[in-house]
Amino acid sequence: MTISIEIPQPDDWHVHLRDGDMLAAVVGYTARRFRYALVMPNLVPAITSTAAVATYRERIMAAVPVDAADFRPLFAIYCSRVIDLDDLRRGAADGSIAAVKYYPAGATTNSAAGGSSMFDFMSLFEVMADSEIRLLVHAESTDPAIDIFDREAHFLSEQLAPVCAALPELSVTVEHVSTSDGVDFVAAHPRCAATITPHHLARDRSHLLANGMRPDLYCKPVINSTTDRAALLAAATSGAKGYMLGTDSAPHPTTAKYGPVAKAGVFNAAYGLEVVAEAFYQAGRLDQLGQFASTNGVACWGVEPPSSTITLTRETIDRELATSLTTTKGDEVVLFGTEEAALWTIQTTPVTAATFGC
C-alpha cells in the first residue's frame, strides 16, 4: 500500500557541518533537504565570536550546492570564558548569533574547551536571559562514577535544574534528549524545549550492542533503553510544541569509527528524515510529522515559516541507495538509515506563500 504525506519544508535544529573537505562533502545533504539549520560550534578552535561565525558562514555558503537555493544556516557559539558579552549582544541583535551552546568538558567530540560546571557561567546566562538569547545544552554528566546510561538524568537534576530555577526567564533547549527522564524534565520546565534525533527515535541500545558492537550507532548521549526510546517517540509524536527535529548529524570518517576507540556521532543528514517518517508511521502518528519536523521549530525560534512543502511517500520500489560518501581526501563516511530510506521517497513541492500565511 502506498502512503503519502505532505508537510511544510522541514528544518534541522542541531547539525554538525564540520569544516574543510568534510564540510564540502556533507553540507549538500543538509542544505538540499532543510531550510533552517542550527549549526553547532564545536570546531577546533571552537566558534566563540561574531567574527568566527562570519568566516564559518562564508565557508559554509561557499560549499552549499547551487541547487540548494533556500538554505538558511543559523549559528550557536560555544559557551566559553572567552565570550565577549558585548560581542554576544551585538551578534544576537543582528541575528548572526542565534544561541550559545554549553558542552560539559570532555562529554563529546571537540568538547575539551567546555565547562566543568554550568554554575561557572551564571553571569553569562543572566545576560542571555536579559537579552533573550537561547541556551543550548549538551546535558550529560562527565562524572566517571555515574553510569553512562544515567548521565543525562544526573546532569539535568544536578546542573540544569538549579540553573533553570535561578534563571526562570532563560530559554533552554535540551539537545538530543535521550531518556524518559529528559522528557520529564522538559515537561516540567515551561521555558525548556528539546531536540530529538532520528537515531534516538528509531534505535535503542540493543541495536547498538546486541548483535556485535555497532560503531556507526555510537553517539553521545549514548542511545539508551527501549523504555527511553518509547518515551522519546511518544514526546515527538504528541503534538507538544517543545519537541523538534535536531538530527545531530555528525560525520566521522570510518577510520575514526572502526578503530579501537570509536568517535561519537551518527551521520544521518542523508536519510534522517526517512528514519523519522518511518518511526512516526510505525507509531501510527504520521499525521504529527509536520508538527515535529517543520512547525514546532519555526514557532520556537520565531523564524519565517516556509513557502514550500515536501511530500513523503512510503512505497515498495527498487531504489539505488548510496551507503557511504567519500570526501576529496578519501575519507569514507557511512550513511545512517538506509533501511528506512529504502521505504520512502521525498519530493519537494513549491507552493504559494499564502499557503502558510507568510
Is 36 within 8 Å of 301 (Cβ atoms)?
A: yes
The answer to whether the beta carbons of residues 163 and 125 sit under 8 Å apart is: yes
Give the residue among 100, 3, 117 at the shortest CA–CA distance from 48: 100
CB of 5 to Zn ion, least distance (A): 27
Q: Could you give the CA distance from residue 140 to residue 341 in angstroms, rounded to a whole number?
A: 30
DSSP H or E segment with residue 164:
helix 161-166
- Rounded to whole angstroms, how far apart are CA atoms 140 and 185? 13
Report the residue closest to Zn ion, judged by CB: 248
Helix (H) or strand (E) holding 4: strand 3-8
Cα 181 from Cα 183, distance rounded (Å): 5
The residue with cell 548510496 is 322
Which residues, in sequence order, are bridge partners of residue 219? none
CB of 79 to Zn ion, least distance (A): 14
Q: Which is nearer to Zn ion, 257 or 285 (CB)?
A: 257
Are 192 and 261 contacting, i.e. CB atoms less than 8 angstroms apart? no
Minimum separation from the CB atom of position 249 to Zn ion (A): 8
Q: Pick the catalytic residue from 12, 181, 228, 248.
A: 248
Residue placing its CB nearer to Zn ion in the complex, 176 or 229: 176
Q: How near is the Cβ of 123 to Zn ion at its closest, in Å? A: 25
- Lookup result for grid cell 535521550: 178
Q: In the numeric block, which cell numbers belong to residue 227? A: 523504555
- Rounded to an integer, what distance in angstroms lies between the CA atom of residue 274 and that of residue 132? 34
Binders of Zn ion among residues 191 to 250 (CB under 5 A) are: 248
- Kindly identify the residues of this chain, within the stretch 245-274, that bind Zn ion according to CB under 5 A: 248
Catalytic annotation present for 130: no
Contact yes or no for 317/345 (Cβ under 8 A) = yes
Cβ-based neighbours of 133, under 8 Å, separated by 6 or more: 88, 92, 97, 99, 100, 127, 171
Count of residues in contact with Zn ion, rule CB under 5 A = 1
Provide the 10 A C-beta neighbour count for residue 54: 12
Instruction: Kindly tell me which of 108 and 327 has the beta carbon lying closer to Zn ion.
Output: 108
Residue 199 main-chain phi, psi, to 5 deg: -75, -35
Q: How far is the CB of 270 from Zn ion (least distance, A)?
A: 17
Pick the closer one to Zn ion by CB: 152 or 248.
248
State which residue, 124 or 137, has the beta carbon closest to Zn ion.
137
Binding to Zn ion by residue 140, rule CB under 5 A? no
Shortest distance, position 146 Cβ to Zn ion, whole Å: 20
Residue number with CB closer to Zn ion (10 or 251): 251
Active site residues: 248
Residues that bind Zn ion (CB under 5 A): 248
